[in-house]
Structure formats: C-alpha cells, structure tokens
Amino acid sequence: MLDKIKTIADLLRQSSYTVVMTGAGVSTESGIPDFRSPGSGLWTVVNPELFTIQGFKANPGAFYRAGIPFFRQIEKAQPNATHTVLAELERRGLVRAVITQNVDGLHQKGGSRQVLEIHGSLCSASCMHCDYRVPIETITEDVEEGLLPPLCVECGEPLKPDVVLFGEPLSPDYRQALDEAQKATLVLVIGSSLQVSPANQLPSLCENLVIINRTPTFYDEKAQVTINEDTARVMELILEELDKNN
C-alpha cells in the first residue's frame, strides 16, 4: 500500500486543481453509521420509506421517532483524521473543494472551508411553508420534550431537517459541484461506494481519479489508484508522505 500512498502524494503535488468527493465511509470512523452495511447501516434498522419526502409529509412524527437517535449521534460526533487531513490539504492549496454526500457537518468542524453539501445538512431544519429555520439542537430539544413533530413557531407547520430526502432534488450545491468536478485535474473519492445517482456521475467528469474506500466500486477500473482500506489511516499516511519533501 505504501507505493500507492506515494503515487497519490505525487498526484496531489502535480495536480493544479484537486477536488475531493466524500461519502458515508468518511463519517463511520466518527461513530456515524452508514446506510447500507449489513446489521449496522441505517436502512437495516429503520424503514427507508419514512425518509422519503412523501413519508415525511404523511407522518412527520414517525419520521422523527425513527430519525432522532441518528440525529443525536451526529450532534455528538467529532471529526476524525480524514476530516482534519483534508482541511490541512486545503490550507496548503492542494485541495480546492470538498464535495460531500454526508449531512453531518464534520468537514466544517474539521476545518474545511470550501464544502459543497449536495445532500443538504442536518445542522439545521426549516419550515417547508414559510422557510423559518432553526438549528438542529432546537429540534432535538423539542423531541426530547415530547413535541412530535417539532413545529414552526411562525406558522405552526412541521419543521423538516435541511437534508435531501428521497424524492427531493439535490441541494443547490450540486450545480457548483458539477462545475468543480469539470474544472478538476484530479478527483479524490474518499469513503463513497459511488452507488447513489446522480452524485456518482461526478467522478466521470475528470480523467484523473483516485478512490479510497473500504469496498470496491464500479469506478475502480477507471481510477489511477485504488485503496480498499478505512480512510482515516490512509489519509494520515498521505499527509506523512507529503511532509517528507517539505
């Protein structure tokens, strides 16, 4: 694996515009479950129908009863080495943007500034009727006090977390993510199985591709380098390799 680490470090040095795309595998090492892993993925313990926009509108109380344990995990989670290394690479000018499928805000907590959240964010919630917005902590407090669903104080309608549910369009960040991927001379995919469309189309917009993910993806044959390991240790090794020539 060390030869691959050296190659990735060289690609980062040579690239004039590197964009990173991250998925759930980045956050699992912060204690946040992914969606599809057998026995631990979110869709193995809750009904994904509740997380459609139709399911939310039909029964927002059931949505919150199923989702609030997951929301609390995200509130408590802290960035891991993948998040902090990416922030350091941005600081050095080696990464221009992070496109993330995650909704946990850990990239920002870890220090990244240019973050595009194409599936929205669980850091806040909004009223679908009047756009009144509150921090997610307000939502969890309301739920703990027995208010299901939490309601907008302006109009009384249910508040919805600012995440993209099934059946909704991607966030406005997706258009900018397309632009970033098209400008990129290197795309580094970290912790994503690349199974979710249309986000999985982004890597195809760049000729130079690196994939770091615990399991294989259907893009592996296109990638210049593929490493099937947990992401945090790999990112630490990449930073150590970059530091050797500093």
Confidence at residue 165, expressed as pLDDT on a 0 to 100 scale: 93
Whole-angstrom distance, CA of residue 200 vs CA of residue 14: 25
**Residues 181 and 70 grouped into a single domain:** no
What's the number of domains the chain is made of? 2
Check residue 44 and give its pLDDT.
55
pLDDT digits (tens, 9 = 90+) for 54-68: 999 999 999 998 888
Residue-range definition of the domain harbouring residue 146: 34-76+121-163
Segments of the chain scoring below 50 in pLDDT: 40
pLDDT of the residue at 38 = 52
Residue type, 42: L
Identify the burial level of 134 via C-beta atoms within 10 angstroms of its C-beta, where 0-12 means exposed, 13-18 middle and 19 or more buried: middle
- In this prediction, residue 160 carries a pLDDT of 95
Query: Does residue 149 have a cis bond before it (omega within 30 degrees)?
Result: yes
Nearest to 74 by CA among 35, 126, 28: 28
Same domain, residue pair 90 and 195: yes
Helix axes 81-91, 231-244, angle to 10 degrees: 30
Structure tokens at 144: 């703990």
Segment 1-20, tens digit of pLDDT: 899 999 999 999 999 999 99
CATH number at residue 143: 3.30.1600.10
Q: Which of 83, 107, 119, 129 is catalytic?
A: 119
Q: How far apart are CA 160 and CA 146, in angstroms?
A: 16
pLDDT of amino acid 75: 86
One domain for residues 128 and 175: no
Active site residue 107: no
Pairing between strand 159-163 and 186-190? Answer: unpaired
Last-in-domain residue among 140, 163, 186: 163
Residue 107 and residue 218 share a domain: yes
Beta carbons of 183 and 202 less than 8 angstroms apart:
no
